[in-house]
C-alpha cells in the first residue's frame, strides 16, 4: 500500500512541479520560496528534472497493478511533455533578448563583439558548449587569483579575479565586477553568474567576483559600502592583472542587482564611502539581473514579506523609522541624467522579486537618463534564471556581451573622433 501511495504521489508531484514552471503556484508568503526553488529547476534544467521524475517512478512502479502503473506513467508522460515545452521556451530566449537590444540600442547595433577585445588565437579558443556540469568546474578554469583582500573585514572582503590564462598582464582588458545575491544575508562570490563571467572571460574580459558583509551580523549600509570599496580597489589594482581601470562594468543578481544598480547610480557618494570619500567609484555600465530597485514600492510591485524582513534583519529599524532609509537605499531614488548605460533583465515568473520592480525602474531611467537603457523581460523565466548553464542563461550571456560591445564600441569611436584632428587643421 505504501508503495502504491508513493508512486501516485511522485506522479502527481511531477505534474505540479512542471505546472509551477509555467505559472508559479504562489508569489506570496513562504509558498513563493518553494515556487521559486521548484520553478527555477523546471525552467532551467527541464531534462535533468525529467530524468529524476522517471527514475523515481521506475523505482516505485515495479509490481504495481497494471491500471495504477499506467495511470502513474501517464501523469509522468504529461509532465515530461510540459518539461519539453519549457526546454523549448528556454532555447528561444534569444528572441526577447534580441528584440530588447534592438529596441534599446537601435537595429544598427553591433551583433558581435568582433575584435573589440583580445580574443583567443586561432586554435587556442577556450569556449566550450555551455551546460550545468560545466558550471561546476568552470571556477578552476579561470579563477587563478582567488581570495584577494580588498578591505579590512576578513573573508567577507575577499574577491576572485577571473581571467583567461593567455591574457596579457600588461594589456588593458575591460573589467566586469560581479556582486552576488542572497537577500543581503547570504551569498558568496563563488557559484553565481558563472555562465556570464566565463563567457566574457573567454572573449578577453577580466571579471572580479566579490564577497561583502552580510546581515544580520552586519547592518545596512555595510553591504553597499563594501561594493564601493571593491570598485575603488579594482580601479587601483586591476591594471596589475591586465585589466583596464578606465572601463568597468558592474553586474549582479537579486540583492546583487540592487547593490550593483545603487553603486552605479551613486558614484563617489560620501554617504556610502566612509573613510574613502575621495576614492573614485564610478562605473561605465550596469547590468542588473532581477534586482530590487524600490524598497518603498507597494502592492504587486514588492513581495509582501520583503519590507518586514529587510527592516528587521538588514536595516534593524522599526517600521516607524524605516521610510527614509528605505528611500535612500532604493536605486530608483537616485536616478539622474548622468546615470551610466543600463541593461536590466528580469523574468516574468519571478516569485521573489515581482517584475513590476524592473518595469517601474526602467521607466524612470528612460525618462531621466541621457544614456541607453535596455530592458529585457524574459517570458517564463524565474528568479535566478542565470545561475545554471542553461540555454536561457547562455542566451542572456550573449545578449549582455552584445550590449557591452555596443557601449564599448561607442566609447572607442568617441575617443578616436576626439583624437583625430579636424579636417583643414
**Catalytic positions, please?**
254, 350, 383
**d(Cα 274, Cα 278) in Å, to the nearest integer?**
10
**d(Cα 285, Cα 118) in Å, to the nearest integer?**
20
For 76, counting Cβ atoms within 10 Å of its Cβ (0-12 exposed, 13-18 middle, 19+ buried), the class is buried
* Grid cell 586591476 in the structure block, residue: 238
Residue 101's region, left for phi above 0, alpha for psi from -120 to 50, else beta, is: alpha
The kind and range of the H/E element at 86 are: helix 66-91
**d(Cα 259, Cα 13) in Å, to the nearest integer?**
37
Helices (H), 184-316: 194-202, 222-237, 255-265, 306-310
**d(Cα 233, Cα 225) in Å, to the nearest integer?**
12
**d(Cα 174, Cα 400) in Å, to the nearest integer?**
14
Q: How many CB atoms lie within 10 A of CB 372?
A: 21
**d(Cα 33, Cα 44) in Å, to the nearest integer?**
16
Q: Which of 220, 207, 218, 146 is nearest to 179 (CA)?
A: 207
Name every residue whose Cβ is closer than 8 Å to that of residue 367 and which is 6 or more positions away in sequence. none
CA-based radius of gyration for the chain: 23
Residue 415 grid coordinates: 575617443
Amino acid at each position: 500500500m505504501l508503495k502504491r501511495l508513493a508512486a501516485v504521489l511522485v506522479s502527481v508531484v511531477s505534474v505540479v512541479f512542471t505546472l509551477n514552471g509555467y505559472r508559479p503556484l504562489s508569489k506570496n508568503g513562504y509558498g513563493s520560496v518553494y515556487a521559486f526553488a521548484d520553478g527555477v529547476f523546471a525552467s532551467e534544467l527541464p531534462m535533468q528534472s525529467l530524468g529524476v521524475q522517471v527514475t523515481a517512478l521506475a523505482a516505485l512502479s515495479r509490481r504495481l497493478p497494471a491500471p495504477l502503473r499506467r495511470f502513474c506513467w501517464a501523469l509522468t508522460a504529461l509532465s515530461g511533455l510540459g518539461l519539453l515545452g519549457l526546454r523549448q521556451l528556454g532555447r528561444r530566449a534569444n528572441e526577447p533578448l534580441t528584440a530588447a537590444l534592438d529596441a534599446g540600442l537601435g537595429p544598427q547595433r553591433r551583433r558581435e563583439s568582433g575584435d573589440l577585445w583580445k580574443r583567443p588565437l586561432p586554435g587556442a579558443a577556450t569556449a566550450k558548449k555551455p551546460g550545468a556540469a560545466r558550471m561546476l568546474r568552470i571556477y578552476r578554469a579561470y579563477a587563478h587569483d582567488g581570495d584577494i583582500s580588498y578591505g579590512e573585514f576578513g573573508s567577507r572582503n575577499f574577491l576572485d579575479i577571473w581571467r583567461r590564462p593567455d591574457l596579457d598582464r600588461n594589456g588593458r582588458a575591460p573589467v566586469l565586477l560581479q556582486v552576488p545575491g542572497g537577500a543581503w544575508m547570504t551569498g558568496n562570490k563563488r557559484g553565481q553568474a558563472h555562465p556570464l563571467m566565463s563567457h566574457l572571460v573567454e572573449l578577453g574580459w577580466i571579471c572580479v567576483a566579490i564577497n561583502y558583509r552580510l546581515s544580520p551580523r552586519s547592518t545596512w549600509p555595510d553591504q553597499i559600502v563594501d561594493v564601493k570599496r571593491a570598485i575603488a580597489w579594482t580601479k587601483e589594482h586591476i591594471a596589475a592583472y591586465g585589466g583596464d581601470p578606465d572601463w568597468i562594468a558592474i553586474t549582479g543578481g537579486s540583492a546583487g542587482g540592487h547593490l550593483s544598480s545603487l553603486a552605479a547610480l551613486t558614484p563617489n557618494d560620501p554617504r556610502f564611502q566612509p573613510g574613502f570619500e575621495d576614492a573614485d567609484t564610478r562605473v561605465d555600465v550596469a547590468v542588473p539581473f532581477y534586482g530590487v530597485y524600490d524598497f518603498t514600492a507597494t502592492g504587486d510591485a514588492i513581495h509582501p514579506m520583503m519590507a518586514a524582513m529587510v527592516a528587521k534583519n538588514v536595516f534593524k529599524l522599526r517600521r516607524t523609522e524605516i521610510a527614509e532609509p528605505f528611500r535612500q537605499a532604493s536605486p530608483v531614488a537616485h536616478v539622474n541624467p548622468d546615470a551610466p548605460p543600463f541593461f536590466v533583465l528580469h523574468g516574468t515568473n519571478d516569485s521573489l522579486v515581482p517584475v513590476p520592480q524592473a518595469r517601474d525602474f526602467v521607466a524612470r531611467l528612460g525618462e531621466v537618463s541621457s544614456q541607453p537603457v535596455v530592458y529585457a523581460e524574459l517570458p517564463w523565466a524565474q528568479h535566478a534564471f542565470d545561475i545554471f548553464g542553461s540555454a536561457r542563461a547562455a542566451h542572456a550571456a550573449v545578449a549582455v556581451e552584445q550590449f557591452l560591445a555596443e557601449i564599448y564600441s561607442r566609447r572607442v569611436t568617441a575617443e578616436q573622433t576626439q583624437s583625430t584632428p579636424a579636417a583643414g587643421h
